[in-house]
Structure formats: C-alpha cells, structure tokens
Structure 1
Amino acid sequence: MRALHVITGLGIGGAEQQLRLLLGRLPLHCDVVTLTNPGPVADGLRADGFRVTHLRMGGNRDLGALPRLVRVIREGRYDLVHTHLYRACVYGRIAAHLAGVRTLVATEHSLGAAEIEGRPLTRATRALYLATERLGSATVAVSETVAARLRAWGVPAHRVHVVPNGVDADRFRFDPAARSALRAELGVQPDDFVVGGVGRLVPGKRFDLLIRAVADLPGARLLLAGDGPERPALSALAAGLRAGDRVHFLGARADVPEVLSALDVFVSPSREEAFGLAVVEALAAGLPVLYRVCPALEDLPPGRAPGSLRIGDSAGELTEELRKRRRAAPGLREPPAAAAHYSIAAAGERLTALYERLLADPPHHPTHHHHPTERARS
C-alpha cells in the first residue's frame, strides 16, 4: 500500500509534528508533499527516511500548484491520499480526485467553534471546505468535539471518524537533569516558581492573559515556547508591566520535553482548541495544568487528569490559582491516566484500521476518473 500525505507546511507546529509521529507508526509506504514552508519538521521527516516534496505554492490562490500536485500523485501511483490542514485539504482533495485516486482521507486538526487554524471562520471558508469535503472518502476528527462540529456543519456522520492526537509519553517523562540544565541556561534559580506555555504566539492563544497573571505574582517566572506574529506585542506588554526580566520568550523549540521538565505548572489560556496537544504533553511530563479550553480532557471521563483545572478568562483568577500552586507541595511528577490514553501508538493503529476499511470497500464517486493502469501495491 502506498500513501501520500499532503500538508500545508512543515514548520514547527502541532499538526506538523503529529504527522511526523504518525508516519513512524504506519505500516505502509508513505511520502509527503508540503505546499509551502519545508521547515524543521521536513528536515526531521527526511532524517526519518521519508521522501518530502516541496510544491513551492505561492499563496492561497496559486492555482498553478494544482496541476503540479496532480502530477506528483499520478507519478507516485498512490492507493490513498491523506491531507492535513485547510489549504492542503482543499487543494489535495481536488488534485487526488483529478488524478483518479479513489480513497481520500483528510484530518481536521484545527477546527474551533469560531476559528480554523487560528483565523476567523467565514461563510466562504466554510462553503469551500464543505464543497471539497464531498470529494473525500473520510474526514478524521482529532477529538469528539471536532467530530460534533463537523456533523453540525453538515458533513455526513458516516464520513466522520475520530482518531485522537497522540503523544510519545516516554519522551515527555520528567527529566531532573534537563530541568537543571535549562534553568541554568536561562538564569532561573532551582527554587524559583516557573510557569510555562507552549504554542504559536497568535491572539487566539491568549498568552497576554498569562503574562498579566504572572506579572501580578512577584518572583514568578514565565517560559513561553513558540513564535508568531504576536511576539513583539507580548514582549512590549511584559515590559510595560515591569515583568520583562521574568518573562522568557524561548522561540520555536524542538526540545519541548526539556522545557516542560523545567516548569512547575503549565497553563493553556487559549480561547479555542480542537484537541489541546500541548496540554496532553504537559500531563505526560507530570505537570499540574490550568486550561481554558481542552477537548482532549473534556472528552474524557472525570478523574483521568487529576491536578488539572479549568479556568475562566480572568487574569486575576489565573493569578490566584498560580498563587495556590506555588504554595502547594510539589508532586512526584507522575503522568496521569489521560497521558497514557492518548498514545501515538494507539493513534497509528486507529488510522491504519481506517485505511484498511476504506481501501477494502472504497466509496463510489460517480465522477471519479480511475488510473488508466492498475496502481502498484507494496
């Protein structure tokens, strides 16, 4: 079986790193096409032995990318095309359809109630999404919450399949040596109370709320791992609150497990999440977690993530919760059941089973044009 994964870009991001993790767990030949930005994750995939093709797409309206992608799909003679992220889903479904591939899967990584991939949902965005979704065989939702949103949009329930994101829990296990090393590198004392957040620095992540909360907690430090267009404004906010020396902007990091080991508490103040991968990674590191929205936890039965707490949208409330965590005795840093529940091995098994079902009984698309010759299987 040969599969092609098409993704919008391969910079450091949750969907991009999730793809790299998954490809290592799929028992089939996989290649990757990135429409734009062959960044650090592309380098990692190549190091893992996967072929990565950069389509050099110039923007959302670069229609010349479509025939280039059709050609890649035809030449690769793929049994299945799997798309990731909005632009890749739109172009990838059309290209796979034109190339005659009968089995088309798309993963919806970032659909919120009012945003998709951090951008506001518009009527046009939704219409284009639904028009191209009809070309597919299945749409994978990364959480039950996203599955419900897709069904509410009008995606037929039988085409929606839940395959939650996964983490390699062993990689995130608390490492006291890494904690000491990173704190020393940043000039953070061993007994300092350190709060952290991970994610793109965009308005929807609400890191401004976290900076305000930490600024009102004398002596506390904040580590923010991630980059994005809000970094200058967030840096100016920290300086204006006279907390610039206590807020550390770490940029996009490949060593997130080490960053998590350096923390005492993790905070996710996002107003929208499709899953909440950073929260699950923090739980795998044994950290107490304060979160605003996290479908990964909200979809679980109660009691699977002790030490986690849902917070409101108030900096004052967050400051008070952080003050309580600073007074509490440190725990043993053992991951809760939620971390084991969301294993990358389980995600790989679920996705493989879906592929096998779809390939055994591909849906009938009357307008499909099949390959002129039988596709090779491996």
Structure 2
Amino acid sequence: MKVTLVMAGDEEGGLEKHVVELANCLMKHHQVTVVAHEKYRSRLKTEFIAIDLSKSRRNIIVLFQLYRALKALQSDIVHVHGNKAAAMVGSILKFLPTKSVATLHSRKKNTKMFKGFDAVIAVSPNAAETLEHPNKYIILNGIEPPELNSDINKITPPVVLAVGRLVPVKGFDLLIQAWQDIPNAQLWIVGEGFEKQKLATLINELALEKSIKLLGFRNDITDLMQQASLYVMSSHYEGCPYTMIEALLCKTPMVSTAVGAMAQILPKQYLCAENDANALHHLIAYALENLKQVERDFIPVFADAEKNLVLDGMVNNIEMVYREVLDGK
C-alpha cells in the first residue's frame, strides 16, 4: 500500500512517538510518507514532507500546502493523527481522491472533525465512548519492547516514578498534594513543561523538597523504571499512554487514576477516581506498604502487556483497518 501519515504540532509526547514508530514499522511492507513539522525528519526512515502544521488549523497558506502535498502523493490511504490534524485534513478531504483513516489519541468532547473519514481508530475504550462514527475501531498502542538492564535493581528506600509533560492534564499538582505524609519513599517526576515552576513552588510550600525530585528531561526512562518500585499516573484524562506500556514492559507495577486504557488494563484495586488527591494518596500508601502483594497481582498484567502492547501487534491491527477501508467494508 501507499500510505501517508499526517501529524500536526511540534510537541514531544505519546502521539508523536506513536507516529514515528508506526511509520518506521509500516515501511517494512509499504511505501510510506510522513507529512509533519521539519523537526521530526531525522527520526524517520520514510519519505518526508515538511509542513509546519503547528500553525492555526485555519491558516489558508498551510492548508493549501497540505492539499497540494496530499494530492500529489495520490496515496491509497491518508492516516491522520489527533484532533488538529483531523480538522485540517478533514477540511480538504472532499477534494482528495484517497481513502482516509484517523486516530483519536485521547478522550475528547468534540469529535466532529472525524466524521468525514472512512474509519476512525481510538487508542482506548474510554476515548471511543465520545466518538460517533459508523466505522470505529479500538486499537491499543504498542511499542518496541525496551531493552532491560539486568544489572539494575530496585532502589531502597523505594522510588515512585511519574513521567510526562508538566502540563495541567497530567495532574502532577494533584500527585504532589497526594504525596503528603507518604513515609520512607521518594517521588521522582520526569519531564519538562510550562508548569515546572508552579510545581516546584508547590513542593516547597508543602515542605516536600526532601522527598520529591523534579528530574526534568531524561533519556534513560527505562533505567529509571527498573529502579522504581512503583509507577504512578495522576492524569485527568489519557488515551493509551506510552509511559504506562513502558512501565509494564519494565515489570514495574503501577497505580493510576481510572482514565484511558488504564481502566481496561490495570487491576481495579490499583485505580482511583481522577482529581481526588486523598484517594490517590491512599492508593500510593497501600501499594508501598504491600509491594510484595502488588508484584504478585501484576504478574498476569505484565504477561498480557508482553503479548498485546508491543509494536508488531498494533501495526498488524492498523493494517487490517487499512485493508477493510480499501475493500469498502
């Protein structure tokens, strides 16, 4: 197949990682082109067309550049990722002689921009609930299994790890509040974002600077996950986050707010309501006090992740959607 992937924006997150890995894997069997911001060119082995889709989704010049590129490519499938890319390509879709697929990467209230596509993929059941489309599929994210270092052991006293962009949706302020009165453990928060100073101030106000560390950007996430006794997600909403998959493939148990794919994959006793610092506090405290039991409870979860949350399985499912779209099903 001749496949074109489109992503808007210029951020560093799960969506961008998904598109890069999907493109590089698809090109083993298909002709693949990626249309995206110039910054991603060096990460891709595919053909690449640089268009700055981080600009307004109504920017006439950018939309014309996008239309001209997609028309010239004459792909069998145009596959767009995220709401903004869906809105931009959706506005010109009727002028393009191609089949189309879109991926919804997290739960959104407004999904009107996906209506014109031949099929829509949601990365979690939670995201799919708000999507009204006659041809929708749920395909969980998958990644290349991380290379584990057998020389790395869990740190004592235990470390609880959280990874993500420092933005409101990740709920790191909630996590910091929930950390109060957690004894004999360290919380490491990895990531960069505009809330960094706000979070640092909150840590100081709550006198938690000795037990919470903001580590900033790190390129050794796998090592950190192997060192941690527990991974925590405090997000207000998610799709199927890569950090969850990485943690499970690193055999690090986790607790989370009951959002996105976590509500489907994790044992119910390790989930709590979003935006509830008290509930998250009790969940973390229980897990740290019962780490041996937590590890036993996660044995089947780790096994399931090794089977279903890896890149090859995800790509096979996406190719199936492509074939069904091209066959007119």
When normalised by structure 2's length, the TM-score is 0.86
Q: Is the 8 A contact 1:104 1:137 kept in 2?
A: yes
Equivalent residue runs for 1:106-121 within 5 Å? 106-111=102-107, 116=108, 121=109
* 1:257-282 deviation digits (Å, cap 9, x = unpaired): 22211211111111212234422322
The whole-number CA distance in structure 2 between the counterparts of 1:50 and 1:308 is 43
**Helix, strand or coil at the partner of 1:299:** helix
**Structure 2 letter corresponding to 1:336:** F
Q: Which residue of 2 aligns with 1:91?
A: 88
Q: Is the 8 A contact 2:159 2:227 kept in 1?
A: yes
* 1:235-272 deviation digits (Å, cap 9, x = unpaired): 11011112224322233444322221121111111121
Q: Which residue of 2 aligns with 1:337?
A: 303
The whole-number CA distance in structure 2 between the counterparts of 1:138 and 1:10 is 25
Q: Classify 1:22/1:356 alpha carbon distance in 2 versus 1 (closer, same or farther; 3 Å).
A: same
| Structure 2 residue 132 is the aligned partner of structure 1 residue 171 | no
Q: Which residue of 2 aligns with 1:105?
A: 101
* 1:140-180 deviation digits (Å, cap 9, x = unpaired): 111222222213xxx3x3x2122221133x3165x353568
TM superposition shift of 1:42:
4.3
| Structure 2 residue 268 is the aligned partner of structure 1 residue 319 | no
The whole-number CA distance in structure 1 between the counterparts of 2:42 and 2:153 is 27
The whole-number CA distance in structure 1 between the counterparts of 2:257 and 2:60 is 39
Which moved further from structure 2: 291-300 or 86-95?
291-300
TM superposition shift of 1:24:
3.1
The whole-number CA distance in structure 2 between the counterparts of 1:8 and 1:266 is 30
Q: Is the 8 A contact 1:214 1:220 kept in 2?
A: no
Figure out how many residues of one structure are paired with residues of the other and give that number.
Answer: 320
**Structure 1 letter corresponding to 2:8:** T
Q: Which residue of 2 aligns with 1:358?
A: 325
The whole-number CA distance in structure 1 between the counterparts of 2:226 and 2:168 is 26
* Residue from 282, 285, 296 that aligns with 2:247: 282
**Helix, strand or coil at the partner of 2:60:** coil
* 1:118-155 deviation digits (Å, cap 9, x = unpaired): xxx5xxxx3xx52x43331111111222222213xxx3
Which moved further from structure 2: 204-213 or 272-281?
272-281
Q: Classify 1:228/1:329 alpha carbon distance in 2 versus 1 (closer, same or farther; 3 Å).
A: closer
TM superposition shift of 1:84:
0.5
* Residue from 133, 146, 150 that aligns with 2:131: 150
Equivalent residue runs for 1:39-118 within 5 Å? 39=39, 41-45=40-44, 49-57=45-53, 58-98=55-95, 100-111=96-107, 116=108
The whole-number CA distance in structure 2 between the counterparts of 1:146 and 1:231 is 28
TM superposition shift of 1:54:
2.3
The whole-number CA distance in structure 2 between the counterparts of 1:222 and 1:70 is 47
* 1:44-63 deviation digits (Å, cap 9, x = unpaired): 22xxx123322124333322
**Structure 1 letter corresponding to 2:328:** D
**Helix, strand or coil at the partner of 1:192:** coil
TM superposition shift of 1:94:
2.9
When normalised by structure 1's length, the TM-score is 0.76
TM superposition shift of 1:306:
5.3
**Structure 1 letter corresponding to 2:229:** D
TM superposition shift of 1:88:
0.9
Q: Percent identity?
A: 24
The whole-number CA distance in structure 1 between the counterparts of 2:226 and 2:128 is 33
Question: Unpaired segments of 5 or more residues in structure 1?
Answer: 181-189, 363-378
The whole-number CA distance in structure 2 between the counterparts of 1:205 and 1:222 is 15
* Residue from 176, 180, 189 that aligns with 1:224: 189
Q: Which residue of 1 aligns with 2:264?
A: 299
**Structure 2 letter corresponding to 1:93:** G
The whole-number CA distance in structure 1 between the counterparts of 2:276 and 2:118 is 43
Q: Is the 8 A contact 2:77 2:98 kept in 1?
A: yes
* 1:61-110 deviation digits (Å, cap 9, x = unpaired): 32211110111112223221110111111112333432x23301100112
The whole-number CA distance in structure 2 between the counterparts of 1:60 and 1:96 is 14
**Helix, strand or coil at the partner of 2:198:** helix
The whole-number CA distance in structure 1 between the counterparts of 2:227 and 2:11 is 24
**Helix, strand or coil at the partner of 1:171:** coil
Q: Which residue of 2 aligns with 1:162?
A: 138
Q: Classify 1:308/1:264 alpha carbon distance in 2 versus 1 (closer, same or farther; 3 Å).
A: farther
**Helix, strand or coil at the partner of 1:25:** helix
**Helix, strand or coil at the partner of 2:215:** strand
Which moved further from structure 2: 195-204 or 347-356?
195-204
* Residue from 152, 158, 164 that aligns with 1:199: 164
RMSD of aligned Cα (Å)? 2.6
Structure number with greater Rg is 1
**Helix, strand or coil at the partner of 1:88:** helix
* 1:186-210 deviation digits (Å, cap 9, x = unpaired): xxxx412211112221212211121
